[in-house]
């Protein structure tokens, strides 16, 4: 999902952060952050952004210099977070998938520029030329021409019905929004295809490959490639989200097909091993190599160019996506990072390899501002930057953004309320029936207990009440209030005014991109 997105460490690892020299021999030194100052930062972040729990680790020069948990893993159990608490790391799983591809490339079992159809003959996109030219590298670089989050409704909010076979088959129905390899649009479905390439080439499932060839090798003993495979559930966070203005425990997001895009559970203690290996060009332990330096160089080299703002706090000159990682520069240093978000959990991993610095922030709430505030404040201390209060800056931004979105949604629901007082009530009869989308399946619109309801047959959580708004446009209020994804239902009619189809559109501008309503095109079938 977009965007994006907690425990004490062993006593001997609690240390002051290093004082680091700045770029090119500058005499200035970084601000010292003590454990107490970090504690105050994270505790303030918890309170400001209403996050139940955060886990933080800082890695410097191949050592964990700080790892700690804050808050609780669940508002239901009140169990404290520690450095071993497992969180869903969501799209930070993508770097593991890229690493697995790299391992297989090192072994000569595939090449990054092999065609996907060489391994998955049934793979097919909307454009036959793109299908024929699509490579394994293309699976990992978000440059397919598909729109942002295309097909994610097969996973979010409910992935109980769509199989991996369905996901691969349905890719052929998505019309491109840009030409092949010309533009970045974040994609989850193609990472699922990458996971299937790994399975077919290695002869084992993606989950088995990640467990045996990466996690076990690095000593990530408690981590798991999926929630279902966790060995010990006694120290795992619950998911949380605001519902009607109050943060509560929400149903956990589970997937059986999307683990290669975002299914891993891990802790800051064990992810520290992962990022130390990354910052050593694939080396771990006694000079052992997980993947070659050549493969690592390709992972951290620009593959898809991203736009850069004309002015930025970190004086950023370039931005790109590599293989499973975002790349840019921050105050003259190369920065390698990724965020992740699933229902009720968002995470961020940030590396400054030239400083041998890594920052891991895992949270059990939907606030990307929380992990950004912690990451940036710590990063600033190592870059010798001071004077910016990231908690306040991001809090102000969030408030402004939410106020704008709230005005938009409030205006819609105010109009809905006004329509309830119409003297002439709408005749819903023509709108009732089944509407079919070629990849998403059926939704049924029916009357029950005096209310107009919509239900997605293949995504049962997408059930809600449909209210008149304006003309043939209605407003859907989903029963699951943690979605924050209420939508317009726009009925398409023929020349006689009879409904022939249905399109959906998010009401709030803050709706997560994985609710890709814009990719749906329902036709009335009965």
151 found inside a domain:
no
* Rounded Cα distance, 361 and 338, in Å: 11
Tell me the average pLDDT across 331-345.
Answer: 97
Domain of 213, CATH number, reads 3.40.710.10
Closest CA to 323 of 41, 511, 99, 30: 99
From residue 58, alpha-carbon distances to 29, 38, 269 in Å are 19, 11, 10
Average the pLDDT over each of 244-248, 268-272, 501-505 and give the range with the smallest value. Answer: 244-248
Q: How many CB atoms lie within 10 A of CB 322?
A: 21
SS3 154: helix
Whether pLDDT at 53 is above 80: yes
* Rounded Cα distance, 81 and 78, in Å: 9
146 found inside a domain:
no
Q: How confident is the model at residue 256, as a pLDDT?
A: 86
396 found inside a domain:
no
Whether pLDDT at 114 is above 90: yes
Domain that holds residue 476: 409-524
Whether 359 and 488 map to the same domain: the answer is: no
Closest CA to 210 of 101, 339, 303: 101
Residue 257: pLDDT band (50, 70, 90) is very high
Whether 433 and 498 map to the same domain: the answer is: yes
From residue 479, alpha-carbon distances to 246, 450, 460, 466, 519 in Å are 16, 16, 11, 11, 22
* Rounded Cα distance, 145 and 130, in Å: 9
113 found inside a domain:
no
Count of domains for the chain:
2
Residue 22: pLDDT band (50, 70, 90) is very low
Whether 415 and 372 map to the same domain: the answer is: no
Q: How confident is the model at residue 14, as a pLDDT?
A: 27
Q: Is 344 in contact with 227 (CB distance < 8 Å)?
A: no
DSSP code at position 359? E
Q: How confident is the model at residue 373, as a pLDDT?
A: 98
Domain of 490, CATH number, reads 2.40.128.600
Whether pLDDT at 159 is above 90: no
Max Cα distance, the chain (Å): 79
Q: How confident is the model at residue 526, as a pLDDT?
A: 80
Q: Is 443 in contact with 489 (CB distance < 8 Å)?
A: no
* Rounded Cα distance, 267 and 74, in Å: 15
Whether 340 and 441 map to the same domain: the answer is: no
Whether 225 and 346 map to the same domain: the answer is: yes
Whether 466 and 363 map to the same domain: the answer is: no
Q: How confident is the model at residue 15, as a pLDDT?
A: 27
Residue 30: pLDDT band (50, 70, 90) is low
Whether 277 and 363 map to the same domain: the answer is: yes
Quick one: 232 exposed, middle or buried, by C-beta within 10 A (0-12, 13-18, 19+)? exposed
Average the pLDDT over each of 28-42, 137-151, 179-193, 204-218 and give the range with the smallest value. Answer: 28-42
Q: How confident is the model at residue 56, as a pLDDT?
A: 98
Residue 31: pLDDT band (50, 70, 90) is low
Whether 382 and 467 map to the same domain: the answer is: no
Q: Which phi and psi angles does 488 have, rounded to 5°?
A: -80, 140
As given in the structure block, the two tokens for residue 26 are: 């500058």
Whether 431 and 468 map to the same domain: the answer is: yes
Q: Which of 354, 388, 422 finishes a domain?
A: 388
Q: Which phi and psi angles does 517 have, rounded to 5°?
A: -55, -30
Q: How confident is the model at residue 346, as a pLDDT?
A: 97
Whether 267 and 330 map to the same domain: the answer is: yes
Residues paired with 265 in a beta bridge: 88, 224
Q: Chain-wide mean pLDDT for the chain?
A: 92
Residue 332: pLDDT band (50, 70, 90) is very high
Whether pLDDT at 392 is above 50: yes
161 found inside a domain:
no
* Rounded Cα distance, 110 and 209, in Å: 15
Tell me the average pLDDT across 315-335.
Answer: 98
Tell me the average pLDDT across 381-403.
Answer: 96
Could you tell me which residue, 33 or 260, shows the higher pLDDT? Answer: 260
Residue 40: pLDDT band (50, 70, 90) is very high
159 found inside a domain:
no
173-224 residue pLDDT tens: 999 999 999 999 999 999 999 999 999 999 999 999 999 999 999 999 999 9
Whether 278 and 307 map to the same domain: the answer is: yes
Q: How confident is the model at residue 23, as a pLDDT?
A: 29
pTM for the model: 0.93
158 found inside a domain:
no
204 found inside a domain:
yes
Residue 158: pLDDT band (50, 70, 90) is confident
Whether 371 and 511 map to the same domain: the answer is: no
- In which residue are the tokens 């006689």 written? 496
Quick one: 399 exposed, middle or buried, by C-beta within 10 A (0-12, 13-18, 19+)? exposed
Q: Is 341 in contact with 355 (CB distance < 8 Å)?
A: no
438-477 residue pLDDT tens: 999 999 999 999 999 999 999 999 999 999 999 999 999 9
SS3 524: strand
Whether pLDDT at 35 is above 60: yes
Cβ neighbours of residue 414 under 8 Å, at least 6 residues apart? none
Q: How confident is the model at residue 11, as a pLDDT?
A: 28
Average the pLDDT over each of 24-28, 69-73, 229-233, 417-421 and give the range with the smallest value. Answer: 24-28
Residues paired with 319 in a beta bridge: 306, 328
365-387 residue pLDDT tens: 999 999 999 999 999 999 999 99
Residues paired with 243 in a beta bridge: 246
Question: Percentage of residues in the chain with pLDDT exceeding 70?
Answer: 94
Whether pLDDT at 122 is above 50: yes
Backbone angle region of 238, left / alpha / beta, with phi > 0 → left and psi within -120 to 50 → alpha? beta
Work out whether strand 522-524 and strand 326-330 pair parallel, antiparallel, or are unpaired.
Answer: unpaired
DSSP code at position 344? T
From residue 483, alpha-carbon distances to 147, 240, 344, 410 in Å are 21, 11, 10, 17
Tell me the average pLDDT across 146-165.
Answer: 92
């Amino acid at each position: 999902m977009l965007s994006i997105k907690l425990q004490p460490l062993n006593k001997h690892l609690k240390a002051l952060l290093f004082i680091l020299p700045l770029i090119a021999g500058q005499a200035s030194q970084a601000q010292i952050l003590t454990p107490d100052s970090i504690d105050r930062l994270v505790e303030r972040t918890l309170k400001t952004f209403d996050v139940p729990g955060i886990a933080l680790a800082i890695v410097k020069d191949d050592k964990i210099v700080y790892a700690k948990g804050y808050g609780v893993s669940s508002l239901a159990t009140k169990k404290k977070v520690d450095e071993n608490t497992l969180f869903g790391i969501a799209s930070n799983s993508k770097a593991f998938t890229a690493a697995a591809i790299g391992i297989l490339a090192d072994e000569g079992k595939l090449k990054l520029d092999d065609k996907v159809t060489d391994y998955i003959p049934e793979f097919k996109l909307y454009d036959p030329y793109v299908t024929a030219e699509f490579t394994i590298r293309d699976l990992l670089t978000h440059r397919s021409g598909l729109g942002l989050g295309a097909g994610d409704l097969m996973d979010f909010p409910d992935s109980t019905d769509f199989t991996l076979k369905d996901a691969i088959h349905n890719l052929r129905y998505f019309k491109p929004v840009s030409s092949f390899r010309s533009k970045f649009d974040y994609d989850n479905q193609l990472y699922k295809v990458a996971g299937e390439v790994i399975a077919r080439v290695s002869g084992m499932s993606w989950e088995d490959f990640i467990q045996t060839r990466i996690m076990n090798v690095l000593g990530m003993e408690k981590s798991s490639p999926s929630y279902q495979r966790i060995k010990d559930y006694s120290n795992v966070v619950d998911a949380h989200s605001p519902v009607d203005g109050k943060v509560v425990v929400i149903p956990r997001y589970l997937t059986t097909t999307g683990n290669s895009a975002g299914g891993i559970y891990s802790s800051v203690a064990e992810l520290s091993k992962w990022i130390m290996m990354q910052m050593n060009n694939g080396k771990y332990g006694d000079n052992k190599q997980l993947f070659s330096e050549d493969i690592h160089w390709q992972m951290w080299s620009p593959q898809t160019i991203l736009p850069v703002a004309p002015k930025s706090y970190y004086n950023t000159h370039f931005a790109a996506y590599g293989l499973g990682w975002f790349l840019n520069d921050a105050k003259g240093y190369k920065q390698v990072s990724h965020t992740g978000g699933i229902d009720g959990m968002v995470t961020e991993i940030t590396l400054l390899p030239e400083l041998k610095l890594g920052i891991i922030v895992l949270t059990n709430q939907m606030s990307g501002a929380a992990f950004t505030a912690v990451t940036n404040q710590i990063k600033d201390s190592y870059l010798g930057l001071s004077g910016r209060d990231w908690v306040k800056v991001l809090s102000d931004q969030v408030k402004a953004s939410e106020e704008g979105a709230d005005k938009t949604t409030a205006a819609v629901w105010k109009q809905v309320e006004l329509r309830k007082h119409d003297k002439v009530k709408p005749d819903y009869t023509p709108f009732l029936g089944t509407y079919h989308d070629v990849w998403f399946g059926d939704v049924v619109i029916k009357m029950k207990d005096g209310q107009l309801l919509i239900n997605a047959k293949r995504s049962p959580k997408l059930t809600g009440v449909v209210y008149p708004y304006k003309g043939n446009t209605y407003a859907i209020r989903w029963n699951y209030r943690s979605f924050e994804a209420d939508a317009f239902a726009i009925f398409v009619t023929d020349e006689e005014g009879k409904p022939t189809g249905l399109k959906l559109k998010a009401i709030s501008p803050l709706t997560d991109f994985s609710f890709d309503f814009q990719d749906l095109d329902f036709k009335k079938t009965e």
